[in-house]
Amino acid sequence: MTYAFLARAGAASALALSASLALAAPRTDLTMGQQLEPPHLDPTSAAAGAIDAVTYANIFEGLTRFASDGSIIPGLAESWEISDDGLEYTFKLAEGVKFHDGTDFDAEDVKFSLDRARAEDSANAQKGLFEGITEVTVVDPQTVKVTLAAPNGSFLFNMAWGDAVIVAPESIETIKTNPVGTGAFRFENWVQGDSITLVKNPEYWGEPAKLEKVTFKFISDPTAAFAAVMAEDVQAFGAFPAPENLPQFDADPRFKVLVGSTEGETILAINNKLPPFDNVKVREAIAHAVNRQEVIDGAQFGYGTPIGTHFAPHHPDYVDLTGMSDHDPEKAKALLEEAGVSLPIQVKMTLPPPSYARRGGEIIAAALREIGIEPQIENVEWAQWLETTFRGKDFGLTIISHTEPMDIGIYANPDYYFQYDSAEFQGVMDQLNLETDEAKRSELLKQAQEIIAQDYVNAYLFQLPLLTVANAKIEGLWENAPTQAADMTGVYWTE
């Protein structure tokens, strides 16, 4: 945003601007609130999004990385070449890169990190990202070659994940409490249960950070989060948990509210193997019974983009299929009659802790009762949800936001918790994995979205928004969350 501003400003006003800046130097420290505290700081051995929220781009970097708009840009690899058969990726690494402990970054570190992630005893939560790799070869200290078993159109995308960052063998033993990366900030200290402090890395190889110090403060309770922002204990709060308070911040000139998008498709998942939900007509009836806007208004206070399939609406390949499942209780009842099921249908509906699930669940349950489906609501904790609903598949309906980027591929796995098994869809996914031509990939992705919408696998609700509250004088925060991150490298105070 600075660039745009400077470009518009004339030479004289630019001078005046720098003169006024010299008088009152802008602040260089920032306290960022976030709801969850990371369990430890190794993004390569746990799924906890809170780890990436602190470390991604700030402490650790990968070969490629996500920009705020979701595009893939070079990271530690400044350029790459892909062989014609799509099997070999040769990465040219950035020069003069050092880890925070002063050791050099080179191709050996890349090999170490990728080999560690795909090793047999690897504890990487996204081991699937590395599955196609058959070999990582060090060509010279600045060049590394990755060989794949089969062409993989999303390989560069995969390497941008927080789980694929480059770590050093010298510091791997203590990574969980003292993370050593190559990023623009280095880890300073951790007051457990309260905050983590990062300081600027003066020897950063790329564009240096503008802030000298960033403190992440962990405030889990939504009311406490509201109070902390209002009292200006924190100057920004990422993924603000109380959407009902946003209008109040919006009206206050001290603050600004950023409403962006995440990769989270929020769905009412249906157990496709559990009768009578194995009947597509019953699932279609559920889709028509649910009033998306009512859920968005009631559970999210209006924040959230309706979706009609399992795909992020901000993605260029998104197809708007919401019309296939518009709110129509009469049609839903007719469909149930057509399906010949006996009413009422009793079904177990598990709801994990986030408010979109708990509040949304009540609204959806009421809508389903209208058409003769009687959900028995069961509130569960995350650990319980993972064990009984996700792994045990002991559920009829559940509400969940699938926050992984580009995860439509989960529908190709018949063992995935909603147990959708379609040869047609699996065929499309197989083609997609081998396809590297962008136009054809786009076509296949659209086809995939349509298949799951036509099969009414799940009822698609809305894209989870990213709500950020910040001091009005802060610029450069990520508006969208292509991955769970709070990239502080470009953040600065205007005064």
Partner 1 sequence: MLRYTLKRLVSLAVSLAVASVVIFLAIEVLPGDPAAYMLGVNAQEDTLAALREQLGLNMSGWERYSSWILGLLQGDFGTSYTYRTPVADMIAERVKVSLPLAVYALVLSTVIAFPAGIYAASRRGRPGDVAIMGVTQLGVAIPNFWFAMLMVLVFSINLRWFSAGGFPGWDAGVLACLKALTLPAIALALPQASILARVMRSSLLDTLSEDFVRTARAKGLTRAQALRRHALRNALIPVLTIIGLQFSFLLAGAIIIENVFFLPGLGRLIFQSISSRDLVVVESVVMLLVFAVVVVNFAVEIAYALVDPRLRAGR
Binding site for partner 1 (CB under 8 A): 37, 39-40, 46-48, 120-128, 176-177, 191-195, 217-221, 223-224, 227-228, 230-233, 353, 381-384, 386-388, 390-391, 402, 404
* Minimum CB distance to partner 1 smaller for 252 or for 326: 252
End-to-end CA distance of the chain: 15
Report how far residue 489's alpha carbon sits from residue 260's, in angstroms, rounded to the nearest whole number. 19
Any idea how long the chain is?
Answer: 495
Q: Please, what is the minimum distance in Å from the beta carbon of residue 332 to partner 1?
A: 29
Backbone angles phi, psi at 255, to 5 degrees: -120, 160
Cβ-based neighbour number of residue 102 at 10 Å:
9
Q: Tell me which residue has tokens 């609204």.
A: 363
Q: Which is nearer to partner 1, 142 or 384 (CB)?
A: 384
Judging by DSSP bridges, how do beta strands 373-379 and 345-351 pair with one another? parallel
Instruction: Tell me 125's DSSP state.
Output: T
Task: Give least dist CB 417 to partner 1, A.
Answer: 8
Tokens representing 264? 């989270």
Return the sign of the alpha-carbon dihedral for residues 354, 358, 359, 365.
positive
Up-side HSE of residue 222: CA atoms within 13 Å toward CB? 12
Peptide bond into 344 cis (omega under 30): yes
Q: Report d(CA 444, CA 431) in Å as an integer.
A: 8
Query: Rounded to the nearest whole angstrom, what is the least distance from the CB of residue 24 to partner 1 in the complex?
Result: 22
Q: How far is the CB of 333 from partner 1 (least distance, A)?
A: 34
| CA torsion, ordered 6, 7, 12, 17, to nearest 10 deg | -10
CA 251 to chain centre: 29
Amino acid at residue number 291: N
Give the nearest distance from C-beta 407 to partner 1 in angstroms: 8
CB of 217 to partner 1, least distance (A): 6
Distance of closest approach, residue 48 Cβ to partner 1, in angstroms: 7
Least separation, in Å, of the C-beta of 287 and partner 1? 23
Taking the C-alpha atoms of residue 343 and residue 60, their distance in angstroms, rounded to an integer, is 55
